[in-house]
Structure 1
Amino acid sequence: MQNLYIGVMSGTSMDGIDIALVDIKAGKVTSIISDCYPMPNSIKQQLLTLCDTNQTTLQDLGQLDHQLGLLFANSINQFLQNNHINKNQIKAIGCHGQTIYHQPTGNNPFTMQIGDANIIAAKTGIITIADFRRKDMAYGGQGAPLVPAFHKAVLQDPHINRVILNIGGISNISVLIPNQTVIGYDTGPGNVLLDGWINENLNQSYDKDAMWAKTGHIQQNLLNKLLDEAYFKLPAPKSTGRELFNLPWLHKKLTGMNLKAQDVQATLVALTAVSIKHEIEKLPISNNLPCELLVCGGGAKNPLIMQRLSTLLPNWAVLTTNDKGINGDDMEAIAFAWLAYCRINHIPSNIPEVTGASQAVCLGVLYQ
C-alpha cells in the first residue's frame, strides 16, 4: 500500500511553485512525479516589492496571503487532475508557504511565511501541514535550514564526505561527514542578486545558462566589498534571506563605482561561488574519505557557478543530486512532503545542531 504525500515549495527566487508527489514507507522516500507551476507576475511583483521595501498595509498583506493560498490550492488541484491522482490517496500536503521576512536573531526573533493553509486544505480536501519554522524558533532555533534533516535521511553515506548544496535564491549547505553531527546553514546569496540585477537591467527574470554573466569580467574590488559583509563572518548556526541580500544592499555596495552591468553580473556569480567555497573550507574534515559536493536548486543549472565551484574546490567532486537519483529541481518540494510525513507520524524533524534549537521537536501545524 502506498503512503502518498505532496510537497509544495516556492522559494526565495519566486520563479514557480514546485509540487512533488512522493511515496514514503518507513522513512524511505520514493519520488513519483513532479511539476512546476508559474507564479503569476502580478503576485510575484507584489512579493518582490514587499520583500525589498518591507512596506505594506494590513489589508494588502491579508489579501496577498489569501491570493497565495488560492494559488497553491489551485496549482495542487491542477497537479492532481493532470496526473489522474485521486485526492483520497494523499495522506497530507506539506506546504512551506512564501517567506516574506525572516529575523532569526535579536530580542524578538520571528519568521513569516504566507499562503493561507486553511484555504489549501479547504479547496483541496486534503490535510495540509504548514508553518514549519516557528516551532523550532520557539525552542531557541533559527527556524532554518530545515532541509538538512531530509538530506541526512536520504543522502548520508558512511564512506563519503558529502555536502549537499542547494542554490536557490539563497544558498545553503547540509554537511554529512561520517561519524560527525550533521550541520547545515545558509552560506549567503545564491541566485537572488543575479536574478534581481538582470531583471533591473535587461528586464529578464534570470540569466539563462549565465549567457550575460559570461560576457562580463569579475571586478575584484567589487567582489571584496561584497564579501566584506558581517554575515559571512558569523559562525553557524545562521540563516539569511532577502532581508539582507537584496538590490538596495547591492546598490549600496556599488556606490562610487562605475562598472559595466555585465561585469557586476559576473562578479555576483563569483560572490555566490566564493562565499560557498569559504564555508566548505571551514569544515572539520579529518579523514581520508572522498569528498562530494552535490548541488541542487536553480543554481545547479548555471554552468558558470558550477565551473567556478569545480575550480575553487579542486579536492571535491562537484556533482548534482541528479547524479545520485534525486532531481535537484524537486529537492525542496520532496523535502516538505517528507516533513509532512514526519508531522503526521509525530516524528521530530529538526536537527538542533543545525538550527540551534534546544531540542528536537515535531514541526508543522495541521490544517484540515
Structure 2
Amino acid sequence: MTPRTLRTWAWLHKWSSLVCTLFMLLLCLTGLPLIFHHEIGHLTGTEIEAPQLPAALEKQRATADEVMASARKLYPDRIVQFMGKSEDDERLWWTTLTPTPEPTMDYKSVTVGARTGQVVGEYKVGEGFMDLMFRLHVDLFAGLPGKLFLGFMGLLLLVALVSGVVLYAPFMRKLDFGAVRHERSARTRWLDLHNLIGIVTLVWCFVVGATGMINTWADLLIKYWQQEHLAELLKPYAGQALVPEAERLPLQRSLEAAQAAAPGKKLFFVAFPGTSMSSPHHNTFFMRGDTPLTSKLLQPVLVDARTAQVTAAPQMPWYLDALLISQPLHFGDYGGLPMKILWALLDIATIVVLGSGLYLWLKKRGPAVVPAGVGKQALDLSR
C-alpha cells in the first residue's frame, strides 16, 4: 500500500470517526439499559405482568372483542388502532388507543389479560427513565428526521470500521497481536488498547451498526411496501370509504379467518381499518411463526372487516424481512439473558473504543508524516 493510499484511508478513518463518535457514544450509553428493559422493568415494578389466577382459570381465553371492549372502557372517546399479543407473555394483550386512525404520538397503551379479558395495567407513555432512553436512542426526539440522521451516523461508523481494519494490517506488521506497549507514553498505550479492543469487537460493532442503520429506515420501507405492494392488492376497494365500526363483523371472526389462512402461525398484532398498517376496509392480522427465527418474521393476512373473508395473505418482501430480523438482533433479543449479557459487555467495550479514539485525537500534537512502507504513522494520522 502506497503512502498516498495510506493517507486516504487515514483521512477517512479520522473524519468518519470524529463526526460520529459523540452520537455513537450516546447510542451505546442509551442502548445499554435498553438491552435489559424487561429485567429493569421487573425490578422497578414498571413492567406490567400477568396476575396469578386459580388453576381452573389458566386455560380460559377471552375473545378478541372482549379484550378490545375492556380497553375502550378506559378511553371511550378513542379508537383502538393496534392490538396484539405480548411477545414475552401470551397471557397479555396490548392495545393502542388514539383519537383518530391516523398516525400520532397522542396514544394510550392499555394491557388486558388474555384469560379474563380485564384490564391489567396501563403503560405511561412518555414517562420514566426507560422511555427517555428509548427516544434518545431511536430518534433524538426528532421523529423521522432524527432517525435518518442517526442512520447516517451509523453509516459513518461502518466507514470508520472498514478504514480502521485497512489501517490495522500495516500497523501490526512489527507488533505481536494484542501487544500493549506499557513502557511507552500514555497515548501509545491507549492507542494499542484502542486498536486491540477495536479489532476484537469489530464484527459485533459492524453487526449492531448495520442493523441499527437499517432500523432507522423502517418508516420509509413500510411506506414503500404500502405504496408498491399493498396498493396493488387493494385495487378492488379503490374509492370506497372507511368501513364504519357499526358495519364491522366481530373481530374474533376475522381473527379465526386469519388463523385458518396462516396455519401453524399465531397472531402477533392486528391493525384496524384506516390505520397506517392496514387499509380502510380490512382488519390486517400480522402472523408469526413459533421458532426463534420465524417468530421475528411476519405475514400479513388481510380480512375484509364487513364480511370476515380473507382477501389476501401476501409474503413480506425481502427488505421487510431484513428489517424484521435486524430489529431484535440489534438489541440481542435472540438468545435470552446470556446473549443480553454478552451484548452488554460488547457495548461497554465499544464505549471504551469510542472514548479512547476521542482521547487519542484530543492528545495528538502536530501533523504526522507517513514514510514510505511504514504503516504505524498512517494509523496515527487517523487519530
Q: TM-score per shorter chain, which class? A: under 0.3
Is the strand fraction higher in 1 or 2? 1
Q: Which protein is bigger by CA-based radius of gyration?
A: 2
TM-score, with length taken from structure 2: 0.25
Is the helix fraction higher in 1 or 2? 2
TM-score, with length taken from structure 1: 0.26
